Amino acid sequence: MDDPLLAAPMPVLDWVSEATACITRHEHGLLRLEAVAPDILRLRFAPNGRFAAPRPWSPVLDLAPAGLSVREEDGQLWIGTERLSARINLSSGVLAFTTPEGQVFAEDLCAPGWREVSLEETRLQHLPDTELPPGEARIGVGVRKRMAPDEGYFGFGQRDGRLDRRHRRLTHWTVDRVVPGHGLGEDNLYQAQPTFMAVRPGLAWGLLLNSTWFSGFDVGREYEDVLTLFTLGGELDYYIFAGPTPAAVVEQLTRLTGRPLLPPLWALGFHQSRWSYGTDRDVRALAEGFRQRTIPLDAIHLDIDYMDGYRVFTWDHERFPEPAATVAALQALGIRTVTIVDPGVKHDLGAGYGVAEAGVAGEYFLRRADGELFSGWVWPDESLFPDFCSERTRHWWGDLHGSLIEIGVDGIWCDMNEPSIVDRPYREPGVTEYPVPLAVCQGDEGEALHAETHNLYGHLMARATWEGLERLRPERRPWVLTRSAFVGTQCWAASWMGDNSARWEDLETSLPQLASLGLCGAPHVGVDIGGFYGHSFGELYGRWIELGAFYPFMRVHAHCDSRPQEPWSFGPDIEAIARQAIELRYRLLPYFYTLAHRAHRDGEPWWRPLLFDFPDQADLYAIEDQIMIGPQMMIAPIRAHGLKRRLVERPPGCWYDFRSGARLDAGPGPLVMDAPLGAMPILVRGGSILTLGNVRQSTAEPLSELMLEIYPDDAAEGTWTLIEDDGESFAYQDGALAETDARIAPLSQGAVFTLAARRGDYQPAPRSLILRLHLPEAPAGLTLDETPVEDWRWDAELQAAEVRIVDDGQAHCLAPG
Ligand code: GLC
């Protein structure tokens, strides 16, 4: 689809305004602008004058629309709210958006255009169809926008390559990545998120292309500084987010597509996985291996071999004669069990496999356009595929998880849900991908072609799973992991990036990849630590696990032919490094769990690029090898063999070294920081109040100690609110939360620390509170609540004054001097 879809001018023939929308009529088509919220405008252009019907499975939510004012002036139509406006040139139909201050952005270069498109032009590979189905599936619609030269373009979903996506052509079509390795490669991956943000000093704005069809963005690749949006489906439909900061854009995007779920606390712990731990004995030995070596662990994942011939919702009773007893044995050690579930149901009819039979009887599987059941090959050989666009099917599928819940399984891992299908059994040579034909009809009313719903397959499988778990076990928050996803999947599942490789390149690419997803509203993400394909090695594994301790989802996973990747598989030195990294993860859990709550409240990603916190520093936009972990920490990972130190850019403000506790030199330019294996640089921003806990072997153990590491800034006050709850139920929605506000005055004002009384109905277990105030030099004394403290110590190494008290939930004030 290289042809620009360039359109001739499209004068406005007339227009009508409604309370929340304005419609302009053109010789060809209608354009509709709607204020779905004061800071979100929706633009739709239908060349045939008919807007598509709402889809019951759309990932976009209905918000309360805002009032819109419309006026005609100087040959332009001005349409807007107090936060965001659009102006349409009446003679050309060209449109631009403006801020309340009159700053122009996302400005069209021409009116939208459309034309019939061939399958070949989409460059979609491995499709059995030789033509796109007739009708809207063939109509490509697009528009071109000016890219401001000082704008960076970020987000764009799961991708390889650089953080700033200028000069890339990015399309949206979920695929299984069959070629090992991430690095720079094909455009499409397992997930599709047709959304991005553009950031320049003073303004960040966002766009969501509201299309589940094959679509794409050309980000100045075809023409310098020209952004092309295009989609199949016969209608251009997109949302513009007013920003004006990256955080505001993510808030607006997740208001529209749903806030990220709040994971149970255990899901933030360490997960160990492998394809596959073969028998229940192996699994128990693995769990005991962790406990004997005192390496914290919260979850073990069971890959496909637990099933009977890869039949989903069954167990191989030779390998796992008593699954419930095995799961209970793990539970007794504080370890949860996560089982994989693939969408392909073995085509095993008349042989007593209830899932396949019920699926056919209930009409839950996809059928070809000619009415025949659609089948393709996956692990269990010939398989049938549920139609997750159907609400009935989702309900049935969700309920099937009852058998796993009864056994005590805690989490579900949805895999192969792009969906990944091949044309013959895997063991046969020459296997090629064979996707669902585009003309297959989906939905309870058969309302949509697979051409329209393909990108939602994994998203809706994850949703069906989450909703099923919630029905089956309403007292606990479900936890679902998915490989394929779309915008909105953040409501239902965490995701991992699929089959990477044990290579430095794949460690490196995880940094911008996960950061991009955070900008797309998906905060709970991670990659296979150690690498999936290929044999990992000690140095890579050590570097990856020290980095992985900061991934929002932390799991080690490996291919069946790869060498073992348990923390002790690479000898005692690497084992010690892995233990330390995992222990640090557990110490940071009170901070990370607060970040998960913040993500749940307004979408704020906790693994994020520097531009998220420093959007006015254009010189930081390109930095993708340093990552902010929430607003308080910054990591600088090591991405290559043999490095023992690295340069670290310092964004504005004062910074501390997390390991030494010391303030970093304030001189100009990047810092050189030591980074021996196991100790990549970790920095803390001045004004931070980091909350750490004691090391636990699993989150099932209560927190006995809460440590507040306090880092005053030179000039600015710092504030933080620790958020806690029971970590497991939905009671937090009814106020069973504990929120603790803390404040640190700047050094220039004496670095006085105040802690407010705990708010909310949740009562943490009894614990001690350690206050550690980092100061340039030892103070003469300390007062706590205006009384001199006798029992405090100055830790010269960490440059911190430390006091230990009982956490009584009351307000306290700690002052040096
Ligand atoms: C896919 C998954 C991988 C899993 C394997 C076997 O390749 O991405 O994580 O181990 O299937 O189930």
Q: Are residues 365 and 448 in the same domain?
A: yes
- Output DSSP code: residue 254: H
In the three-class reduction of DSSP (H, G, I as helix; E, B as strand; rest coil), residue 482 is classed as strand
Q: What is the pLDDT of residue 433?
A: 86
Written as six digits, the tokens of 653 are 């403000």
More confident residue, 182 or 580: 580
Q: Are residues 139 and 211 in the same domain?
A: yes
Q: Which helix (H) or strand (E) covers residue 773, if one does?
A: strand 768-774
Query: Ligand 1 mean position to 275 CA, how many Å?
Result: 7
Tell me if 198 is assigned to some domain. no
Residue 418 known to be catalytic: yes
Give the CATH number, domain containing residue 135: 2.60.40.1760
In the three-class reduction of DSSP (H, G, I as helix; E, B as strand; rest coil), residue 43 is classed as strand
Confidence band of 1 (pLDDT split at 50, 70, 90) = very low
Written as six digits, the tokens of 412 are 């579900």
Q: Are residues 339 and 464 in the same domain?
A: yes
In the three-class reduction of DSSP (H, G, I as helix; E, B as strand; rest coil), residue 607 is classed as strand
What are the pLDDT digits (tens) for 389-424? 999 999 999 999 999 999 999 999 999 999 999 999
Q: What is the pLDDT of residue 544?
A: 98
What are the pLDDT digits (tens) for 53-98? 999 999 999 999 999 999 999 999 999 999 999 999 999 999 999 9
Query: Ligand 1 mean position to 717 CA, how many Å?
Result: 47
What are the pLDDT digits (tens) for 452-493? 999 999 999 999 999 999 999 999 999 999 999 999 999 999
Looking at ligand 1, which atom is closest to the CA of residue 273? Answer: 10
Q: What is the pLDDT of residue 123?
A: 83
753 vs 85: CA distance, rounded Å: 44
Written as six digits, the tokens of 558 are 């490996």
Q: Whose CA is nearest to atom 5 of ligand 1?
A: 275
Instruction: Choose among 635, 535, 543: nearest CA to 580.
Output: 543
Instruction: Using most ligand atoms within 8 A of CB, pick from 158, 275, 553, 559 the residue to mutate for ligand 1.
Output: 275
Tell me if 168 is assigned to some domain. no
Tell me if 749 is assigned to some domain. yes
Q: Are residues 281 and 220 in the same domain?
A: no
Q: Whose CA is nearest to atom 10 of ligand 1?
A: 275
Instruction: Using most ligand atoms within 8 A of CB, pick from 301, 532, 553, 562 the residue to mutate for ligand 1.
Output: 532
The one-letter amino acid at 699: T
Work out the angle at residue 744's Cα, subtended by the Cα atoms of residues 742 and 749, and round it to the nearest 5 degrees. Answer: 150
Query: Ligand 1 mean position to 67 CA, how many Å?
Result: 49
Tokens 């359109």, residue? 7
Tell me if 37 is assigned to some domain. yes
Q: What is the pLDDT of residue 125?
A: 77
Query: Ligand 1 mean position to 385 CA, how many Å?
Result: 18
Instruction: Choose among 511, 513, 528, 539: nearest CA to 562.
Output: 528
Tokens 């490196």, residue? 508
Instruction: Choose among 683, 682, 518: nearest CA to 612.
Output: 518
Strand partners, 449: 441
35 vs 381: CA distance, rounded Å: 49
Query: Ligand 1 mean position to 434 CA, how many Å?
Result: 18
Catalytic residue among 415, 508, 546, 724: 415
Domain boundary pick from 573, 592, 611: 592
Q: What is the pLDDT of residue 5?
A: 53
Confidence band of 2 (pLDDT split at 50, 70, 90) = very low
Work out the angle at residue 657's Cα, subtended by the Cα atoms of residues 651 and 662, and round it to the nearest 5 degrees. Answer: 115
**Average pLDDT over the chain, rounded to an integer:** 96
Q: Are residues 314 and 238 in the same domain?
A: no
Give the CATH number, domain containing residue 423: 3.20.20.80
Q: Are residues 502 and 364 in the same domain?
A: yes
Q: Whose CA is nearest to atom 4 of ligand 1?
A: 275
Q: Is the peptide bond before 748 cis (omega within 30 degrees of 0)?
A: no
Q: What is the pLDDT of residue 184?
A: 45
Q: How many domains does the chain have?
A: 3
Confidence band of 180 (pLDDT split at 50, 70, 90) = low
- Output DSSP code: residue 629: E
Looking at ligand 1, which atom is closest to the CA of residue 304? Answer: 12
238 vs 43: CA distance, rounded Å: 5
Instruction: Choose among 529, 540, 550: nearest CA to 677.
Output: 540
211 vs 60: CA distance, rounded Å: 10
| Polymer length of the chain | 817
Query: 746 near 771, Cβ under 8 Å?
Result: no
Query: 397 near 365, Cβ under 8 Å?
Result: no
Residue 499 known to be catalytic: yes
Query: Ligand 1 mean position to 279 CA, how many Å?
Result: 18
Tell me if 184 is assigned to some domain. no
State the Cα torsion 594-597-601-607 to the nearest 10°.
70
Q: Are residues 456 and 383 in the same domain?
A: yes
Q: Are residues 225 and 321 in the same domain?
A: no
Q: Are residues 345 and 211 in the same domain?
A: no
Instruction: Using most ligand atoms within 8 A of CB, pick from 415, 481, 553 the residue to mutate for ligand 1.
Output: 415
Query: 246 near 486, Cβ under 8 Å?
Result: no
Strand partners, 682: 635
* Structural domain boundaries, residue 551: 266-592
Give the CATH number, domain containing residue 715: 2.60.40.1180
Query: Ligand 1 mean position to 529 CA, how many Å?
Result: 14
Residue 415 known to be catalytic: yes
Q: In what order do the strands lie in the sheet with 528-529?
A: 525-526, 494-496, 480-482, 411-414, 336-341, 299-302, 270-274, 554-556, 528-529
Q: Is the peptide bond before 523 cis (omega within 30 degrees of 0)?
A: no
Q: Whose CA is nearest to atom 7 of ligand 1?
A: 499
Strand partners, 270: 554
Q: What is the pLDDT of residue 8?
A: 73
Looking at ligand 1, which atom is closest to the CA of residue 483? Answer: 8
Instruction: Choose among 461, 309, 275: nearest CA to 385.
Output: 461
Q: Are residues 375 and 330 in the same domain?
A: yes
Q: What's the whole-number mean pLDDT along residues 324-353? A: 97
Confidence band of 430 (pLDDT split at 50, 70, 90) = confident
Q: Are residues 407 and 280 in the same domain?
A: yes
Burial class (CB within 10 angstroms; exposed 0-12, middle 13-18, buried 19+) of 130: exposed
Q: What's the whole-number mean pLDDT along residues 707-736? A: 98
Q: Are residues 510 and 578 in the same domain?
A: yes
Confidence band of 669 (pLDDT split at 50, 70, 90) = confident
Burial 206-225 (b: 16+ CB within 10 A, else e): bbbbbbbbbbbbbbbbeeee
Instruction: Choose among 87, 19, 25, 47: nearest CA to 240.
Output: 87
Q: Do the bridges between strand 525-526 and strand 168-172 make them parallel or antiparallel, or are there none, so unpaired?
A: unpaired
Residues 6+ apart with CB under 8 A from 797: 660, 661
Q: What is the 3-state secondary structure (H, E, C) of 338-391?
A: EEEECCCEECCCCCCCHHHHHHHHCCCECECCCCCECEEEECCEEEECECCCCH
Q: What is the pLDDT of residue 7?
A: 63
Q: What is the pLDDT of residue 677?
A: 98
Query: 741 near 717, Cβ under 8 Å?
Result: no
What are the pLDDT digits (tens) for 212-260? 999 999 999 999 999 999 999 999 999 999 999 999 999 999 999 999 9
415 vs 500: CA distance, rounded Å: 14
Catalytic residue among 298, 418, 624, 709: 418
Tell me if 510 is assigned to some domain. yes
Q: What is the pLDDT of residue 4?
A: 47
Residues 6+ apart with CB under 8 A from 541: 529, 530, 565, 569, 570, 574, 578
**Ligand 1-lining residues (CB < 6 angstroms):** 275, 303-304, 340, 415, 483, 498-499, 557
Looking at ligand 1, which atom is closest to the CA of residue 303? Answer: 12
Domain boundary pick from 533, 563, 592: 592
